[in-house]
């Protein structure tokens, strides 16, 4: 089982979702002013990730998906990344860059699996 880890940097709060092996599989997108704000975003990750569709933007003529979704895309360095967006289009979490597209897809599946029942801890 994974876990959400909240960090207090002194200037605010950020979070990561870690897999059972301790590896970061997704990270929050910004530093939040309050603990309540970061917990609200984590609640949205828990709510939307398990059932979010995948929009594969790495293929030409990709089909746009509405509602909560994972966007799979290629970054400027040529690596494949994903981000989870809520139905309003707010980015909730982002991934690291992956050399292989299949690794990014596995990352999405890991977020879907781990987000649903991961406890929230504070460092």
pLDDT of 73 over the 90 cut: yes
Number of CB atoms found within 10 A of residue 91's CB: 14
Mean pLDDT of the chain: 96
pTM of the model: 0.94
Mean pLDDT throughout 12-30?
A: 95
Strands 3-8 and 13-18: antiparallel
Residue 118: which residues within 8 A CB-CB, separation 6 or more?
A: 1, 2, 3, 4, 17, 46
CA proximity to 107, closest of 17, 9, 8: 17
Structural domain of residue 95, as residue ranges? 3-122
**Domain containing residue 46: CATH number:** 2.30.29.80
Looking at residue 112, its pLDDT comes to 96
Q: Give the confidence band of 107 by pLDDT, cuts at 50, 70, 90.
A: very high
Residue 110 CA to residue 116 CA, distance in Å, equals 10
Looking at residue 41, its pLDDT comes to 97
Q: Give the confidence band of 66 by pLDDT, cuts at 50, 70, 90.
A: very high
Count of the separate structural domains present in the chain: 1
Residue 10 CA to residue 55 CA, distance in Å, equals 36
Q: Alpha helix locations (H) across the chain?
A: 35-48, 101-115
């Amino acid at each position: 089982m994974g876990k959400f880890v909240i960090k207090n940097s002194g200037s605010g709060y950020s979070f990561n979702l870690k897999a059972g092996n301790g590896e970061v599989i997704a990270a929050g997108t910004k530093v939040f002013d309050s603990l309540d704000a970061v917990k609200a975003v984590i609640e949205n990750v828990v709510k939307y990730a398990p059932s979010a569709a995948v929009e594969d933007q790495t293929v030409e003529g990709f089909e746009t998906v509405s509602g909560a979704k994972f966007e799979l895309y290629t970054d400027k360095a040529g690596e494949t990344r994903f981000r989870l967006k809520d139905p309003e289009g707010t980015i909730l979490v982002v991934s690291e860059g992956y050399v292989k597209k299949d690794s990014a897809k596995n990352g999405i599946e890991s977020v879907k699996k781990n987000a649903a029942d991961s406890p929230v801890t504070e460092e």
